[in-house]
Structure 1
């Protein structure tokens, strides 16, 4: 792809001036810049109290939301970790990062790329990383003054190859993990395996243990200790804190499971694949299948999970979210105790959604709305009043927004749009579409072919076009299929109406709009 060559010289010209400044930026050029807490939560869908879920218990995130900008219609650029995070952290979209799936390593593909922490470091910030900000095993050490900090004992050689997503705490779960690892290593016969083979075990675990023994709680404690160590520096800090839950396995202390008794959470609103859906649309549920389950995990085209186990999985996800909510509460409380809360910008975001039986799926990795829709909560400096903002937004918007909130000049290669104008005026005319894409790998696709799906969400419609994909040449091929969902009539995407005669004019119009891409959807009132 030639597009990367266009970026490299631009990256060397690092900052560009911004002629228009909003009320949110006044005084930041001359005053001490605010600190930044960049809080990434893995696999977090919009199941939060502040997003309207009345069953889940998230009092701390809800409290943060009450005095923050809550973006209600934010979408990930790709519903898979590596691609989504690379796009958010570089400021441009998957076809420009060329990170389309899990194995794509952004630094190998883009050796001269300037990541968000690098950018803010050049603007005078001291940068520290704890937890998952980029993809697993890609901490990108050159991005940080202090990269990849871990709590003891997980910072020792014994744990160097371990995957932080799969720490267990009960003897039964640990034994299951050991057995699975031994079988995997025997099968691979000395070849390298992901996470040194430890990334297998039960999908669920509940242990009657204190939060303090769990990895994300330990990360939170380390974050506060680190803040104590760096808060006196002359530079403001940029702290990237990446929580691993609620990623599988759903491992959380028993007290959070107790919040959700059996049968207390609602099943998926749409437990079936959409009617008329093309073959490449669905993922294979292979992520859940990799863990120990009491029942066979089929594809979304197959029979549903037994109701009891589906209920356990959803409760496990909710318990994991509530556990992370407690970690967020401890972090916010710690900032307030240290007198740092008011002068700290906090960004809380999920990298993509996650199906909890929606479309008979368990996992992410589709272009369905449930996988691309994510929470985005941003608290500015000295912010006292929160706003719930309906404007369409994208994770690629975070980078320029943070620049405007901190008085840092924006680069002209950013492919997102600062959200500061809609912070000041939520009713402002804004983007009329946002964009996502997903590469369906041949070994996962039900028909064994490779595809790239380009997705566009407007206020009313969700339109997707699928093309064949040559992953050796990294090229889009022929048109394969399309999908259209009218969210005014079918919010849960139960019927693909792209092939209906009455939808032909809408499909034609949306196809033209999709072909214009994100540049064609830029708001007139952007900074």
Structure 2
């Protein structure tokens, strides 16, 4: 080699080498997403559900008591928090379509980390998948987001022909279905996914690569079909399960547009409800076990002290409230999600609860700030870093969610949206700007949402104030970027 060229390259290589330790010192990210998991967890006070590993994670970080999905449907919710945009901005409001068809140049959260030198990988479901049909495939992934991917597939796919289902012949992905399987947890898709995630942690340890990592682990459960090992079903004797039965007049003051009914669900008897809930909870505990394995791996690899952990679900899930099951509506059970964030560093709190209304769109700016990355200009959320330092911080007045009405149409058969805000105390909802109904619930006096106060003359001033707040949030969510 020409000596002059060599003399030029040596200082350049030394300069680049000096940057590697600095880059490796940046916090790692383990982003854990679950599918259709509600807040029926022991960390959230549920008396029956066994979730000790999620409890363990909560003890290491902050549990968000009032965290809400921006759309209680898989595709729009995941698109929203992975792009940092509201569903109206992504143009994804149902499970149909892909955001790149509408906003092809958007910089996603994982892309942002790739662009900043992180090793970025996905295991399982982060962007939308048809579950269970697309398990083992890339689903509707976004290839630009990842450097490496793993698509686990386990015994739960092999037993689909044996499922219990409330409507014979219906799709198990959108219909209540379940199965108890004599098996080991590591044979299931989520068990295999956890093992693959641990392999990526080991292979891409910053001490080996000189790069921090952003690894996303997307679990498929407890999305229907609820398939889990028999030992997890044994944890939930049906004699201990008391299904919620709505009062006979519960629906009298609820707009029809708000009731996103699915076939066969209103007719469910008590015994079959117990079976369904048993299977759902068994699936939660299956996921919880895998979370524990990931935490163990971080500890074993001496990564815990420099790894941010996010634990979140894409939306909530109903188990009978208002006669509803599953998701897609704008009641608390569907819009509210479990969210736990554990961030390394002495300035962040541990084992505490934050009650400020929180949106999943806040995750992108939070991780950017915690990792010292410049915030992309399009991102709409607010960094939760102040809340992690002081859980009493009130970051927002309200959390905003939107969904498409499933069961009602306008006179011309066109579709419309429902929009809601959740404050510390109230939920205010309008369907098609109020043309198809308005709802107001006071969670301080009515946690089960049994009384719609929107038509109460005594609530007129409150309705006016919350309507203005909703209009402000609608305008924010509709900003073209």
With the shorter chain as reference, the TM-score category is: 0.7 to 0.9
Q: How does 1:359-374 map to 2 (within 5 A)?
A: 359-374=322-337
Question: Do the aligned partners of residues 459 and 447 (structure 1) sit closer, same or farther apart at CA in structure 2, a change above 3 Å counting?
Answer: farther
For residue 227 of structure 1, report the CA deviation from its aligned partner.
1.8
Q: How does 1:50-449 map to 2 (within 5 A)?
A: 50-136=43-129, 137-147=139-149, 149-151=150-152, 154=153, 167-169=157-159, 172-173=162-163, 180=169, 203-231=177-205, 232-268=208-244, 270=246, 273-286=250-263, 297-298=264-265, 303-382=266-345, 385-441=350-406
Structure 1 unaligned regions, length at least 5: 1-27, 155-163, 185-196, 287-296, 469-477, 522-527
Give secondary structure in 2 for the equivalent of 1:225.
helix
* CA displacement 1:97-150 (0-9 Å, x = unmatched): 111111031111111111110011111111101111011121111111113x12
Alignment RMSD: 2.8
CA contact (8 A) 1:270 1:492 kept: no
Q: Distance in 2 between matches of 1:133 and 1:506?
A: 39
Give secondary structure in 2 for the equivalent of 1:480.
coil
- Tell me what 1:45 maps to: 38
Q: Distance in 1 between matches of 2:253 and 2:37?
A: 28
Give secondary structure in 1 for the equivalent of 2:388.
helix
* CA displacement 1:19-50 (0-9 Å, x = unmatched): xxxxxxxxx98871111111000001111111
Of residues 507, 513, 523 in structure 1, which corresponds to 2:463?
Answer: 507
For residue 386 of structure 1, report the CA deviation from its aligned partner.
2.2
CA contact (8 A) 2:172 2:225 kept: no
For residue 281 of structure 1, report the CA deviation from its aligned partner.
0.5
Q: How does 1:463-482 map to 2 (within 5 A)?
A: 463-467=428-432, 479-482=435-438
For residue 442 of structure 1, report the CA deviation from its aligned partner.
5.7
- The number of residue pairs the alignment matches comes to 442
* CA displacement 1:360-413 (0-9 Å, x = unmatched): 111100011110110110111256832211111110111111112111121232
CA contact (8 A) 1:397 1:419 kept: yes
Q: Distance in 1 between matches of 2:411 and 2:179?
A: 31
* CA displacement 1:151-207 (0-9 Å, x = unmatched): 4xx4xxxxxxxxx89624387449x9xx95xxx9xxxxxxxxxxxx88599811111
For residue 434 of structure 1, report the CA deviation from its aligned partner.
1.1
CA contact (8 A) 1:78 1:352 kept: yes
Question: Do the aligned partners of residues 172 and 269 (structure 1) sit closer, same or farther apart at CA in structure 2, a change above 3 Å counting?
Answer: closer
Q: Distance in 2 between matches of 1:279 and 1:518?
A: 22
Question: Do the aligned partners of residues 369 and 124 (structure 1) sit closer, same or farther apart at CA in structure 2, a change above 3 Å counting?
Answer: same
2:445 equivalent to 1:489: yes
Question: Do the aligned partners of residues 165 and 92 (structure 1) sit closer, same or farther apart at CA in structure 2, a change above 3 Å counting?
Answer: farther
Q: Distance in 2 between matches of 1:31 and 1:329?
A: 25
For residue 275 of structure 1, report the CA deviation from its aligned partner.
3.3
Q: Distance in 2 between matches of 1:262 and 1:376?
A: 28
TM-score by length of 1: 0.78
Question: Do the aligned partners of residues 308 and 144 (structure 1) sit closer, same or farther apart at CA in structure 2, a change above 3 Å counting?
Answer: same
- Tell me what 2:18 maps to: none
